[in-house]
Amino acid sequence: MKIALTTSGNDMSAALDSRFGRAARFLMYDTDSDSFTVIDNAQNLNAPQGAGIQSARLVSDAGAEAVITGHCGPKAFQVLKQAGIAIYQTSAPTVQAALDLFKKNEMQELTDADVNSHWL
C-alpha cells in the first residue's frame, strides 16, 4: 500500500507539511517494501488556484491509497474521495512520527474537509 505524506523535506526525518494542496513535496511511502520516493509539488505550490485539486490528482496518479497530512480543504477532499483515497489527519511533527502513529492504528480518518475553501 502506498501512502502520500505531505512534507517540506526529502526523507523520513523531515517535517510533515501541514498543508495538503500547497505542500512542497509528497513522500510516497510503500508499506510493502518499506521504501519511499519523493514527488515534487512546486507546480501546485505556486498555482494561482486549484492547488488542492491538482495535488489530489498528482497523488492519485502516483498510486496513493492513503494521504497523511495536517489539513485538507473541500475541493481536495472531494477529488481524493472520488479517487478512493483515504485521508488521515495528524499534527505529528515529522514524516516518521506520522507513519509510526499510522502503523499503530492511532490515526483518525477524515470524514469531511477540516478547513474552508480559500474562495469563500
Q: Which residues bind another protein (CB under 8 A)?
A: 47, 49-51, 53-54, 57, 60, 75, 78-79, 82-83, 117, 119-120
Cα gap 54→34, rounded to integer Å? 27
Q: What is the 3-state secondary structure (H, E, C) of 29-70?
A: EECCCCEEEEEECHHHHCCCCCHHHHHHHHHHHCCCCEEEEC
Q: How far is the CB of 4 from another protein (least distance, A)?
A: 15
With 0-12 / 13-18 / 19 or more C-beta atoms within 10 angstroms meaning exposed / middle / buried, residue 3 is buried
Provide the minimum distance between the beta carbon of 114 and another protein in the complex, in angstroms, as a whole number.
Answer: 19
How far apart are the C-alpha atoms of 35 and 18, rounded to whole Å? Answer: 22
- The least distance separating another protein from the CB of residue 26, rounded to whole angstroms, comes to 17
Q: How far is the CB of 103 from another protein (least distance, A)?
A: 28
Q: Which is nearer to another protein, 36 or 52 (CB)?
A: 52
C-beta closer to another protein: residue 71 or 81:
81
Nearer to another protein, 80 or 107 (CB): 80
